[in-house]
Amino acid sequence: MVGCLVEANDLLWPVMKSFNEQWKALLEKKAANAGDPPKLDKNKLVHRWMEQAEQYLTQKIGVRNVPLTYLVRDVVAVPATAATATRTIGQPFADVYTSIEEEMMHCVPHTHNLYKADNNALFRLIDVMVVGHEVSATIAPFRRTLDGRGAFLAIKSQHAGRHVWDKIAKDALTLLKGRKWNGQSSITLAQHTTGQRTSYMRLVEASVHTPTEIPNPRQRVTDLLDSLDGVVNPKLLAAMAAVEQDDVVKRINFEEAVTYLLPSDPVASKKKTGHGATISGTVGATGSPAKVGKTGVKLCWHEPKAFAKLTKEQKTELQVWNRENPTKRKKADEGTGRRVKARVAAATAQSELITAMAESHSAALEVVEAKLSQMTAAATPATHAPTATRTVGFTFGAEIAALEESARVSSVKLAGILKKASPKPKAP
């Protein structure tokens, strides 16, 4: 089937035994149910779907007892070295493959009489997988002849060709080099590094389909450190410096560097201590976890942005639940209102505290500046020294007294705000 010449060593018992076991397993796979083929819908990228489709075809065994993947290989011609390939010792397949199944995928020719039957079966599978999607128009020219290979390659060329992978590589490189993080937003360092990791994996994936430059281990850590732009947190800066200086491990290993940096994340630390908390749509009106509907949606109040990300079925179920449970919805809305009011009150109190601290600090500085001016003026020679000294002393004395009174008032005001904001001690 694969065009390999049969020699005496291929008929030895270990070789025949291995072939028999693998062939039996292949026939059992053919008789088994491969499950439903992966459907292509609007929420799935075509190139991702094609990967799933090819994986599915490895489980579908055609009338020639060969996985249908052999129909969609890039090169139709059987490799010229197939007939003379060196056989793996004690195995019935060439040493460049790992099983007779893999060898057939690459070497079974497309000239056999049963090729058309397999090709027609492939088209029917593809037609089922893309029904309702715009890709259906792409395979329309192949429907009359039931040309499965032609339909698959047309989808690949138009929707998952090199131009698609070029764009994926370009976008991944842009995110890898251009996305910055300074620890001042709600995004944690773990989320940022996950983005770096995802961009790298997309570059690796794209390199299989189009020429792409893959960063080496040291360059990956360099890109990570460069992306931490504008960081002011002392602890994280110290951790970054330690990574920069460790040429043996962390400087050349992305995962080691990330593991070392994560404990110094200022955003994660704030979230652990409760600062910067946000409204959650995952808790019910009574504070208990919200129930989950049939579509997987949590039956509770959702923020507009979170609601917009739900599927059509989830939105419908949530709307029906809101109509059928007006009391629970009202309690949820009231609870949300209280949380929003609490956040607004906390923000207002924080703003008042900052303003009071600024006023107190400014008043104290004015007092110091006035006293310094008084000392400078007193030390400056004048034509009529006694009169000038009395005038300066009187003028600055009154001014300093007024400033000290203002500073005292600001200090009392600040003390009152701090006292109000400090938590009351719990009773023993």
What's the pLDDT score for residue 286?
47
Q: Which structural domain range is residue 233 located in?
A: 163-272
pLDDT averaged over every residue in the chain? 81
Q: Are 302 and 349 in contact (CB under 8 A)?
A: no
Residues 252 and 220 in one domain: yes
What's the pLDDT score for residue 163?
87
What average pLDDT does this structure show over 122-132? 94
Q: Are 403 and 370 in contact (CB under 8 A)?
A: yes
Residues 144 and 180 in one domain: no
Residues 173 and 122 in one domain: no
Residue 37: pLDDT band with limits 50, 70, 90: very high
Residue 281 scores a pLDDT above 60? no
Q: What are phi and psi of 175, to 5 degrees?
A: -65, -40
Flag whether 169 is in a domain. Answer: yes
**Residue that terminates a domain, selected from 99, 126, 158:** 158
**Residue that terminates a domain, selected from 125, 158, 191:** 158
Residues 22 and 153 in one domain: yes
Element holding 135 (H helix, E strand): none
What's the pLDDT score for residue 139?
94
Q: Are 54 and 69 in contact (CB under 8 A)?
A: yes
Flag whether 319 is in a domain. Answer: no
What's the pLDDT score for residue 354?
67
Flag whether 247 is in a domain. Answer: yes
Residues 257 and 179 in one domain: yes
Residue 359 scores a pLDDT above 80? no
Flag whether 315 is in a domain. Answer: no
What's the pLDDT score for residue 113?
92
What percent of the chain is predicted at pLDDT more than 90? 43
**Residue that terminates a domain, selected from 142, 158, 174:** 158
Residue 396: pLDDT band with limits 50, 70, 90: low
Residue 280: pLDDT band with limits 50, 70, 90: very low
Residues 61 and 142 in one domain: yes
Residues 150 and 132 in one domain: yes
- Our count of domains for the chain comes to 3
Residues 140 and 223 in one domain: no
Does the predicted TM-score (pTM) go above 0.85?
no
Residues 167 and 152 in one domain: no
Give the separation between CA 299 and CA 318, rounded to whole angstroms. 6
pLDDT per residue as tens digits for the range 39-53: 999 888 898 899 999
pLDDT per residue as tens digits for the range 283-292: 444 445 567 7
Residues 260 and 186 in one domain: yes
pLDDT per residue as tens digits for the range 73-95: 988 888 777 666 788 888 998 88
